[in-house]
Amino acid sequence: MTSPKILRWPRIAYTPALDMQQKAVAARMAHEIPDTVFLLEHEPVYTIGRQRDRSSLGTLPLPYPVEEINRGGQATFHGPGQLVGYFIFDLQALTPDLHIFLRWIEETLIALLMKYNLEAQRREGLTGVWIEDRKIASIGVGVRRWITMHGFGLNVGYDLSGFNAITPCGIQGVTMTSLSRELGRNVSIEEVTTEASDIIAARYPLLRPRTA
């Protein structure tokens, strides 16, 4: 297979989506499914990696539920107007290097934003994607026996108020932005999902080991 299976889901609450991911990880581990990508939106929720430092969640209670999950990183927000991508990939068959995989996600999102004539970039020491000093996408993954889960959240819509109650990704003073804000027009999730599907499929072979 030259590209992963890419599935589009309607807006979904976080808990059933997490269950969906966990079942997919088990199926990928058993070689029952190919590498798979879920593209979707969430109902409003905050997530944070499993760690002692929870200061990025700010002052509780928060306006939306909090989920502690098996990914790296501090708190972030998911909600309507954000395209979420979950990767269920067997890295051992692709590139058994988590750092390379993270950089691949970043470069894939940068390529996606180039479709909209937006020049995005990585920032040294800060996983994610930025436009100048504004963060447009957050990235966090988990790995179990080289099978990945979680992925990215790309801000698409104008409304970013869900981030106001937290310190996004634990970065003090960070300014969050979105595709719609940068372009000055409303961009739909449906449109970006189509573009993301094409970019992910096109860039997937870059994760495969090179042959002599």
Residues with catalytic roles: 169
Taken in order 112, 42, 68, 201, the sign of the CA dihedral is negative
The residue length of the chain stands at 212
- Yes or no: say if 44 and 79 are a contact pair by the CB < 8 Å rule: yes
Nearest residue to 74 via CA among 99, 50, 109: 50
- Beta bridge partners, 123, equal 126
Rounded CA separation 153/81 (Å)? 10
Q: How many of the other CB atoms lie within 10 Å of CB of 26?
A: 14
Left, alpha or beta for 170 (phi > 0: left; psi -120 to 50: alpha)? left
Provide the token pair at 102.
Answer: 């993270």
